[in-house]
C-alpha cells in the first residue's frame, strides 16, 4: 500500500479553504492509503516562536483534524516534536544541503524580505526539515499546494543526492499528490482569489453560526447583472464557487438561473450560502468543542500517534546511520 504524508504548520485555526482544499480529502485517503498526518510545530518556530501560543496552536489543529474526521486508528496522526528522530535526520540531511540552493528557495527569500530582522538558520533550512519529515516515512505521495511544490522538488533532490553519494537505492522520490477533480480552491468573500489567514478573509471551522452569517452578509456584491446571461464578475463567481461545494446541485442551478435572468437577489443567495456553510461547519464545530475538553482522549491520540510514527522513523534512522557509516563499538 502506498504511503501518503502531509504536514501542516500550527499557526492558527483551520478555515474552509483548509477543509475543502485538503482536510476533507484526508478523511477519504485514510481508507485507501497508509497515511501520516502530522502537525509541524518545529516548523512553526521559524516564524512564530511564542511559548504562550505554541501549545494552544498545536491543540487547535489537532482537535480540528479529529473533529473533521481524521481517524487516529486508520491514519498515523502525530505531532512533529513528539518524534525526535526527525531532528537527527534533519541534521544528517543538512550535511548534504548547500547554502546556494537553500538561499535561493522562494519561500526563504519571501520570508527574509518580509522579516529582515529574523532571517534565522531554521528558516534557511526549512526545506531540509520538510525533507526529513517526508523521507523519514518513505512517503510515496505528498498532497501539496502550489506554494509547497518547490519544497517537494528539493526533497526529491535531497533523496537523489543521498542515494548517489552513498551508492544506494534507499530513499524514494516522493510525488506531489493530486486529488484530481476533487481539489477545490476556496476563494475569499472579499473578491480575492484565495481564502487565507494572512488575507484576513476566512470562514473558520470554529466560527459559530452567527459569525458565519455575519461574514457572508458582508461579502462583496454589486447592483446585479444588467443583461441576460452576463459573465459573472470574480467576486460573484466566488460566492458560486463556495455554494457549489456546500449546497446541492439544484440549489446552485436555481441561483444560476436567477442570475442569468437578472432576477438574482443577493440577500437570498447569501442566506442560502450561510445556511449551507453552517450545515458543513456546525457538526465539526460541535465536535471540536467536545474534543477540546477531553484531555485524556487527546493524550491517548498523541501518545499512540507518536508511537506509530517513531516506529517507522527509528527504522529509517537505523538504516540511514548504517548507510552513512555510523557503527556501534
Query: 9 or 15, CB closer to ligand TRP?
Result: 9
Does residue 111 carry a catalytic annotation? yes
Query: 129 or 212, CB closer to ligand TRP?
Result: 129
Q: How far apart are CA 44 and CA 48, in angstroms?
A: 6
CB environment 82-99: b (16+ within 10 A), e (fewer): bbebbebbbebbbeebee
Q: Does 134 bind ligand TRP (CB under 6 A)?
A: yes
Scan residues 64-103 and list those touching ligand TRP (CB under 6 A): none
- Given a contact cutoff of 8 angstroms between Cβ atoms, the answer to whether 209 and 286 are in contact is no
- Given a contact cutoff of 8 angstroms between Cβ atoms, the answer to whether 303 and 71 are in contact is no
Residue length of the chain: 329
- Given a contact cutoff of 8 angstroms between Cβ atoms, the answer to whether 93 and 131 are in contact is yes
CB of 9 to ligand TRP, least distance (A): 4
Query: 61 or 142, CB closer to ligand TRP?
Result: 142
CB of 152 to ligand TRP, least distance (A): 8
CB of 37 to ligand TRP, least distance (A): 10
Does residue 109 carry a catalytic annotation? no
Q: What share of the chain is helix, strand, coil (3-state, %, to 5)?
A: 60, 5, 35
Q: Does 130 bind ligand TRP (CB under 6 A)?
A: yes
Cell of 278: 453552517
CB of 151 to ligand TRP, least distance (A): 6
Scan residues 205-244 and list those touching ligand TRP (CB under 6 A): none
Q: Does 39 bind ligand TRP (CB under 6 A)?
A: no
Residue linked to cell 477543509:
19
Q: How far apart are CA 251 and CA 159, in angstroms?
A: 48
CB of 323 to ligand TRP, least distance (A): 22
Query: Which among 7, 25, 17 has a CA at the least distance from the CA of 142?
Result: 7
Annotated active-site residue in 111, 141, 215, 270: 111
Does residue 194 carry a catalytic annotation? yes
Q: Does 133 bind ligand TRP (CB under 6 A)?
A: yes
Would you name the residues annotated as active-site residues? 111, 194, 197
Contact residues for ligand TRP, defined by CB under 6 A: 5-9, 40, 43, 130, 133-134, 142, 144, 148, 151
Amino acid at each position: 500500500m502506498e504511503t501518503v504524508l502531509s504536514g501542516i504548520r500550527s499557526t492558527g485555526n483551520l478555515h474552509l479553504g483548509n477543509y475543502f482544499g485538503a482536510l476533507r480529502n484526508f478523511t477519504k485517503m485514510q481508507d485507501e492509503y497508509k497515511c501520516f498526518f502530522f502537525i509541524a510545530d518545529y516548523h512553526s518556530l521559524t516564524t512564530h516562536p511564542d511559548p504562550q501560543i505554541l501549545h494552544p496552536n498545536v491543540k487547535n489543529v489537532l482537535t480540528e483534524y479529529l473533529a473533521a474526521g481524521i481517524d487516529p486508528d486508520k491514519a498515523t496522526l502525530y505531532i512533529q516534536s513528539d518524534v525526535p528522530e526527525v531532528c537527527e535526520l534533519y541534521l544528517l540531511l543538512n550535511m548534504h544541503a548547500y547554502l546556494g540552493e537553500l538561499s535561493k528557495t522562494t519561500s526563504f527569500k519571501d520570508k527574509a524580505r518580509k522579516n529582515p530582522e529574523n532571517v534565522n538558520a531554521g528558516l534557511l533550512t526549512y526545506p531540509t526539515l520538510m525533507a526529513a519529515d517526508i523521507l523519514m516515512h518513505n512517503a510515496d505521495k505528498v498532497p501539496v499546494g502550489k506554494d509547497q511544490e518547490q519544497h517537494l522538488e528539493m526533497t526529491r533532490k535531497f533523496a537523489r543526492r543521498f542515494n548517489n553519494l552513498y551508492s544506494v537505492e534507499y530513499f524514494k522520490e516522493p510525488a506531489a499528490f493530486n486529488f484530481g477533480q476533487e481539489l477545490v480552491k476556496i476563494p475569499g468573500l472579499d473578491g480575492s482569489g484565495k481564502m487565507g489567514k494572512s488575507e484576513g478573509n476566512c470562514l473558520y471551522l470554529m466560527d459559530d453560526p452567527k459569525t458565519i452569517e455575519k461574514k457572508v452578509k458582508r461579502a462583496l456584491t454589486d447592483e446585479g447583472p444588467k443583461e441576460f446571461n452576463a459573465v459573472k464578475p470574480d467576486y460573484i463567481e466566488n460566492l458560486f464557487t463556495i455554494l457549489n461545494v456546500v449546497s446541492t446541485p439544484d440549489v446552485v442551478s436555481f441561483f444560476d438561473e436567477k442570475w442569468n435572468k437578472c432576477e438574482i437577489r443577493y440577500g437570498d443567495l447569501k442566506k442560502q450560502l450561510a445556511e449551507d456553510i453552517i450545515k458543513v461547519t456546525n457538526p465539526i464545530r460541535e465536535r471540536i468543542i467536545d474534543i477540546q475538553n477531553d484531555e485524556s482522549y487527546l493524550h491517548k491520540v498523541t501518545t499512540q500517534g507518536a508511537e506509530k510514527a517513531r516506529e517507522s522513523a527509528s527504522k529509517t534512522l537505523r538504516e540511514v546511520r548504517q548507510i552513512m557509516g555510523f557503527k556501534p563499538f
